[in-house]
Chain A
């Protein structure tokens, strides 16, 4: 302890606010440690999707940098918010307040001051100069008579201030309470009358600190383990999904969402997998969960719109697609769904306008080409439709499902063109996978059209009944029955 050397203190009141430079130093310093800790589970989680060490290194660097920037910005924002709300330490003539709404602690209640270095904390968060913690022990009168006063510690860490500001605070408090000008940051000033109570308070504080450290450590381990499990399952599921092993992917995605119910991409992928497995209701629920977790999740909105189209809820689909396109005006999937909606709502010109641009930008987009052929066909331009389908042989479609869709549209064109045998052959081939299941609505409508052309009234009646049971709108069924309406005016 320094010897007494009282100087004249300046008149207050003073306000000591957290320094922006100190907050930035803390955010940057802690970001290094936090980003490294967060990357430990990620390092293991990206293994299922990584070919060699070089790729792993690049990806882990990307993950580390992302975590570094996000933590720095996020933590800095929190520090600024806390600074705004708490305002700072108020030093008045009669006492001090640790924050805006805090209780005024009278100077004559101060029983001790201690200031000690925190080398472990400083090293862990890469902070220079070494962080100090100033603790002001204040007396709080006991409520019951005869009992000794209670000593309450008030902690002020130096990392919120510049070195000069913290030094000024330390000197001010020491001089104000004990009339002593300290000679360094290591300090212990005690009022002899409160020694016993101070010892008790210090020990209580130490126990609390140990308990708090243990709690943080356990929480950290639990958090990192959970992240490792979630990310590993998510990456493994993505791998399975790409191999079209949907059942396995489903299990991994479910594990990922069970461990982290706030992980929106996992909900989205889970719904996508369920949709592929024809679990439409489950897919709808999970896409809704993805949007709950991330309200601007465009892919989930498109997924829900696809289900709405399937359920013939066109106004809902339009709302979802409008929202998706506003958030992602270049999304090809959204444009495909929108043009499908236009076709279903007989707005063929709008559909053709979009689909032509899609086909021009990517000629192997089978879905766009098929939809364009369908739009031409339904608007009576059968030759244009045929032209689009002929182009498919020149440009190989992107995927198997695109090829199946093109065959379906080709069958529709064949029906309208009077090539009933070709159409029957195509439709039989396309219906084969659904022998024991439920065939898609499009296929069912095409069967109605074909049987109508063949004047097989009994078959038409059965198919129409089945279509009505599914909730396909009456006008769509009627349009399929009056297949002659599909023919172009020249054919007529």
Chain B
């Protein structure tokens, strides 16, 4: 693998990580602000929450599943209520932006960055529906594979060229 390719992959992965973190933070903050506005002056009906998670749930003996469970718990305790929804939107927006950047790269870059992006999309979509680590892992892997496949295909050189700039007839 050439040095420039490694650099390209590294930059692509940094793009994904940055976009996901920034997207989640902005989305989370934005939607918790919006929630404050929407419920301003109304009686607080939202369920009470502790400052920190009190005890971790019994963990899986499998280290991968344990890690997935820990990430789900960390994410859920960091973003709760309306900010959970907002951060989810932010992650998806960040991922799509990363895909748009990665599509211009070389095939290997497209596959690797596409897989990571799809993994993040699959993860966030999965925890909307399920919370079992093994199901979340399956959805994330599926998301990663499909996205890598899509970006690989979409980034191929097209047989079409873009329409050249044509102008209206100049009228004196």
Would you call A329 an interface residue if the criterion is a C-beta within 8 Å of the partner chain's C-beta atoms? Answer: yes
| Contact indicator A322/B57 (Cβ below 8 Å) | yes
For window 232-247 of chain A, which residues contact chain B by CB distance below 8 Å? 238, 242
Instruction: State how many angstroms separate the Cβ of B146 from the closest Cβ of chain A.
Output: 13
| Contact indicator A330/B80 (Cβ below 8 Å) | yes
For window 70-100 of chain A, which residues contact chain B by CB distance below 8 Å? 70, 73, 77, 80, 84, 90-91
| Contact flag A358-B47 (CB < 8 Å), given A295-B129, A323-B131, A329-B73 | no
Would you call A475 an interface residue if the criterion is a C-beta within 8 Å of the partner chain's C-beta atoms? Answer: no
For window 46-76 of chain B, which residues contact chain A by CB distance below 8 Å? 47-55, 57, 69, 72-73, 76
| Contact indicator B127/A59 (Cβ below 8 Å) | no
Q: Please report the C-alpha to C-alpha distance between residue A275 and residue B143 in the assembled complex, in whole angstroms.
A: 39
| Contact indicator A14/B38 (Cβ below 8 Å) | no
| Contact indicator A59/B42 (Cβ below 8 Å) | yes
| Contact indicator B169/A181 (Cβ below 8 Å) | yes
With both beta carbons as reference points, the residue of chain B lying nearest to A265 in the complex is identified as: B45
Q: Identify the interface centre among A51, A167, A331, A353: most chain B CB within 10 Å of its CB.
A: A331
- Which chain A residues border B127 with CB–CB below 8 Å? 296, 327
| Contact flag A62-B40 (CB < 8 Å), given A330-B53, A333-B47, A358-B54 | yes
- Which chain B residues border A14 with CB–CB below 8 Å? 160-164
Would you call A387 an interface residue if the criterion is a C-beta within 8 Å of the partner chain's C-beta atoms? Answer: no
| Contact indicator A357/B54 (Cβ below 8 Å) | yes
With both beta carbons as reference points, the residue of chain A lying nearest to B82 in the complex is identified as: A66
Mark interface residues in A270-301 (1 if CB within 8 Å of B CB, else 0). Answer: 00000000000000000000000001101100
- Which chain B residues border A165 with CB–CB below 8 Å? 163
Would you call B77 an interface residue if the criterion is a C-beta within 8 Å of the partner chain's C-beta atoms? Answer: yes
- Which chain B residues border A326 with CB–CB below 8 Å? 57, 69, 72-73, 76, 131
| Contact indicator B169/A5 (Cβ below 8 Å) | yes
With both beta carbons as reference points, the residue of chain B lying nearest to A302 in the complex is identified as: B47
| Contact indicator A69/B34 (Cβ below 8 Å) | yes
| Contact indicator B57/A325 (Cβ below 8 Å) | yes
| Contact indicator A167/B166 (Cβ below 8 Å) | yes
| Contact flag A168-B163 (CB < 8 Å), given A51-B41, A73-B89, A331-B47 | yes
- Which chain B residues border A59 with CB–CB below 8 Å? 37-42
With both beta carbons as reference points, the residue of chain B lying nearest to A365 in the complex is identified as: B48
| Contact indicator A58/B40 (Cβ below 8 Å) | yes
For window 340-371 of chain A, which residues contact chain B by CB distance below 8 Å? 350, 353-354, 357-358, 361-362
Would you call A164 an interface residue if the criterion is a C-beta within 8 Å of the partner chain's C-beta atoms? Answer: yes
Q: Please report the C-alpha to C-alpha distance between residue A323 and residue B163 in the assembled complex, in whole angstroms.
A: 53
Q: Identify the interface centre among B48, B96, B168: most chain A CB within 10 Å of its CB.
A: B168
Would you call B158 an interface residue if the criterion is a C-beta within 8 Å of the partner chain's C-beta atoms? Answer: yes
Instruction: State how many angstroms separate the Cβ of B129 from the closest Cβ of chain A.
Output: 4
With both beta carbons as reference points, the residue of chain A lying nearest to B90 in the complex is identified as: A73
| Contact flag A296-B129 (CB < 8 Å), given A91-B163, A181-B168, A182-B168 | yes
Would you call B43 an interface residue if the criterion is a C-beta within 8 Å of the partner chain's C-beta atoms? Answer: yes
Would you call B159 an interface residue if the criterion is a C-beta within 8 Å of the partner chain's C-beta atoms? Answer: yes
Would you call B167 an interface residue if the criterion is a C-beta within 8 Å of the partner chain's C-beta atoms? Answer: yes
- Which chain A residues border B92 with CB–CB below 8 Å? 77
- Which chain B residues border A169 with CB–CB below 8 Å? 163
With both beta carbons as reference points, the residue of chain B lying nearest to A294 in the complex is identified as: B128
Q: Number of contacts between A and B (CB, 8 Å)? A: 156
Q: Chain A, interface size: which category? A: 35 or more
| Contact indicator B30/A328 (Cβ below 8 Å) | no
- Which chain B residues border A80 with CB–CB below 8 Å? 96
| Contact indicator A330/B41 (Cβ below 8 Å) | no
Would you call A49 an interface residue if the criterion is a C-beta within 8 Å of the partner chain's C-beta atoms? Answer: yes
Would you call B14 an interface residue if the criterion is a C-beta within 8 Å of the partner chain's C-beta atoms? Answer: no
Number of interface residues of B (CB under 8 A): 54
Would you call B165 an interface residue if the criterion is a C-beta within 8 Å of the partner chain's C-beta atoms? Answer: yes
| Contact indicator A171/B160 (Cβ below 8 Å) | no
| Contact indicator B41/A58 (Cβ below 8 Å) | yes
Would you call B171 an interface residue if the criterion is a C-beta within 8 Å of the partner chain's C-beta atoms? Answer: yes
| Contact indicator A332/B50 (Cβ below 8 Å) | yes
| Contact flag A242-B164 (CB < 8 Å), given A66-B38, A296-B128 | no
With both beta carbons as reference points, the residue of chain A lying nearest to B171 in the complex is identified as: A183
Would you call A205 an interface residue if the criterion is a C-beta within 8 Å of the partner chain's C-beta atoms? Answer: no
| Contact indicator B167/A353 (Cβ below 8 Å) | no
With both beta carbons as reference points, the residue of chain A lying nearest to B51 in the complex is identified as: A361
| Contact flag A167-B168 (CB < 8 Å), given A242-B43, A357-B54 | yes
For window 116-172 of chain B, which residues contact chain A by CB distance below 8 Å? 127-132, 154, 158-171
- Which chain A residues border B129 with CB–CB below 8 Å? 295-296
- Which chain B residues border A194 with CB–CB below 8 Å? none
Q: Identify the interface centre among A65, A77, A298, A329: most chain B CB within 10 Å of its CB.
A: A329
- Which chain B residues border A102 with CB–CB below 8 Å? none
Q: Please report the C-alpha to C-alpha distance between residue A357 and residue B38 in the assembled complex, in whole angstroms.
A: 32
- Which chain A residues border B169 with CB–CB below 8 Å? 2, 5, 181-183
- Which chain A residues border B130 with CB–CB below 8 Å? 295
Instruction: State how many angstroms separate the Cβ of A411 from the closest Cβ of chain B.
Output: 27
Q: Please report the C-alpha to C-alpha distance between residue A400 and residue B116 in the assembled complex, in whole angstroms.
A: 52
| Contact indicator A58/B163 (Cβ below 8 Å) | no
Instruction: State how many angstroms separate the Cβ of A248 from the closest Cβ of chain B.
Output: 17
Instruction: State how many angstroms separate the Cβ of B114 from the closest Cβ of chain A.
Output: 14
| Contact flag A63-B164 (CB < 8 Å), given A323-B132, A332-B48 | no
- Which chain B residues border A295 with CB–CB below 8 Å? 128-130
| Contact indicator B51/A330 (Cβ below 8 Å) | yes
- Which chain A residues border B47 with CB–CB below 8 Å? 298-299, 331-333
| Contact flag A183-B165 (CB < 8 Å), given A59-B40, A66-B34, A333-B48 | no
Would you call A156 an interface residue if the criterion is a C-beta within 8 Å of the partner chain's C-beta atoms? Answer: no
| Contact indicator B93/A183 (Cβ below 8 Å) | no
| Contact indicator B160/A61 (Cβ below 8 Å) | no
Q: Give the residue of A65, A323, A330, A353 whose beta carbon is less than 8 angstroms from that of B34.
A: A65
- 8 A/B residue pairs, CB under 8 Å, sorted by A: A62-B36, A65-B34, A77-B96, A80-B96, A326-B69, A329-B76, A330-B77, A333-B47
* Inter-chain pairs besides A69-B34, A77-B92, A172-B166, 5 sampled, C-beta below 8 Å: A5-B169, A14-B164, A50-B41, A62-B40, A77-B96
The 8 tightest CB contacts between A and B, nearest first, are A62-B37, A15-B160, A55-B41, A329-B53, A62-B38, A171-B166, A330-B49, A326-B131
